[in-house]
């Protein structure tokens, strides 16, 4: 019955990616600005791109909306595995909700920094750095989300699995691939700075692949649920026919 609504919710994933990266592009932050910019350079960047950065902050915040839908849809499908005693379902949902903050906090910081770009450059720089450190570095909610989904998939006792088992392992790997992110706190240049190879480019690509993976998993699960419902309905009809 709800398969149609679920199919619609499924598009929240690609929409999130589009709106989120749209925001990053609007702000002119792909590739991301260098992590070792001086306060004056940062302030200058905000003064010359004020409208783009404001629009970017707005879009990044808006992307959080789609994350909520996405996490709810995954919870719905995980609950098919766990039934009425869910644990990993709640873990994923909780982590997904906190994951919204990881996107919304930076957008607030960018918005505040761009609100009055003429102020003391040190203040603009601090807000800008707060935003980037949070956005690129604090991947822990996403890590927990992947672990919860991975564990739920691997614990599926059903004959017809809701998700193929390899997707469980794939989720566990994504959790590891987000691992280098928090190390941006220690670097201002090089491969592990917030614009670096290990902490931006690897996780950013894995992030995209992660959404592709979940899209595949969820689409498959929604269709299998619809098929199961149809079968159940059919056997109900058969039963009634036999009873006369």
Partner 1 sequence: MTLTQTPRDARSNRPAAFPGEPGLWFFLFADMTLFACLFGVVVYIRDDQPEVFAPSQAALSQTLGLVNTLLLLTGSLLVALGVNALRGGPGRVDRMFAGGIACGAAFLGVKVLEWGHAIADGHTASTNDFFSAYYMLTGIHLAHVTIGLGVLIAMYRNVRSPNVRRNLVEGGACYWHLVDLLWVVLFPLVYLMPAG
Q: Name the site residues for partner 1 (rule: CB under 8 A).
A: 164-170, 172-173, 176-177, 179-180, 183, 186-187, 189-192, 197-198, 202
Residues in contact with 152: Cβ distance below 8 Å, sequence separation at least 6, in sequence order: 78, 81, 82, 88, 89, 92, 168
Give 133 or 191: the residue with its C-beta nearer to partner 1. Answer: 191
Give 185 or 227: the residue with its C-beta nearer to partner 1. Answer: 185
Q: Which structure tokens are listed for 40?
A: 């004056």
Cβ 202 to partner 1 shortest distance, Å: 6
Give 51 or 169: the residue with its C-beta nearer to partner 1. Answer: 169
d(CA 74, CA 88): 11
Give 56 or 181: the residue with its C-beta nearer to partner 1. Answer: 181
Give 4 or 169: the residue with its C-beta nearer to partner 1. Answer: 169
Cβ 220 to partner 1 shortest distance, Å: 15
Cβ 146 to partner 1 shortest distance, Å: 12
Buried b (16+ CB within 10 A) or exposed e, 61-77: bbbbbbbebbbebbbbb
DSSP state, residue 34: P
Q: Pick from 235, 88, 97: which is nearest to 162 by CA?
A: 88
Cβ 157 to partner 1 shortest distance, Å: 13
Q: Pick from 186, 162, 172: which is nearest to 73 by CA?
A: 162
Give 74 or 170: the residue with its C-beta nearer to partner 1. Answer: 170
Cβ 80 to partner 1 shortest distance, Å: 19
Cβ 194 to partner 1 shortest distance, Å: 13
Largest Cα–Cα distance in the chain? 84
DSSP state, residue 32: P
Cβ 191 to partner 1 shortest distance, Å: 4
Q: Which helix (H) or strand (E) element contains residue 104?
A: helix 88-115
Residues in contact with 56: Cβ distance below 8 Å, sequence separation at least 6, in sequence order: 23, 24, 25, 26, 27, 28, 29, 110
Give 173 or 216: the residue with its C-beta nearer to partner 1. Answer: 173
């Amino acid at each position: 019955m709800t398969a149609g609504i679920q199919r619609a919710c499924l598009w929240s994933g690609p929409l999130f990616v589009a709106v989120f990266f749209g925001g990053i592009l609007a702000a002119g932050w792909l590739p991301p600005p260098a992590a070792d910019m001086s306060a004056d350079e940062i302030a200058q960047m905000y003064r010359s791109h004020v409208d783009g950065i404001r629009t970017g902050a707005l879009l990044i915040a808006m992307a959080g909306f789609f994350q909520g839908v996405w996490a709810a849809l995954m919870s719905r499908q995980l609950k098919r595995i766990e039934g009425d005693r869910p644990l990993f379902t709640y873990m994923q949902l909780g982590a997904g909700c906190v994951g919204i903050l990881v996107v919304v906090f930076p957008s607030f910081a960018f918005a505040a920094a761009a609100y009055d770009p003429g102020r003391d450059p040190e203040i603009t720089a601090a807000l800008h750095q707060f935003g980037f450190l949070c956005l690129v570095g604090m991947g822990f909610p996403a890590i927990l989300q992947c672990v919860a989904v991975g564990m739920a998939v691997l614990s599926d006792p059903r004959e017809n699995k809701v998700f193929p088992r390899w997707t469980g392992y794939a989720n566990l790997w994504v959790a590891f691939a987000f691992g280098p992110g928090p190390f941006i706190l220690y670097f201002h240049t090089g491969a592990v700075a917030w614009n670096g190879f290990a902490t931006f480019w690897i996780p950013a690509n894995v992030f995209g692949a992660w959404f592709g993976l979940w899209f595949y998993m969820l689409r498959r699960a929604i269709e299998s649920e619809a098929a199961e419902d149809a079968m159940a309905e059919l056997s109900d009809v058969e039963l009634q026919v036999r009873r006369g």
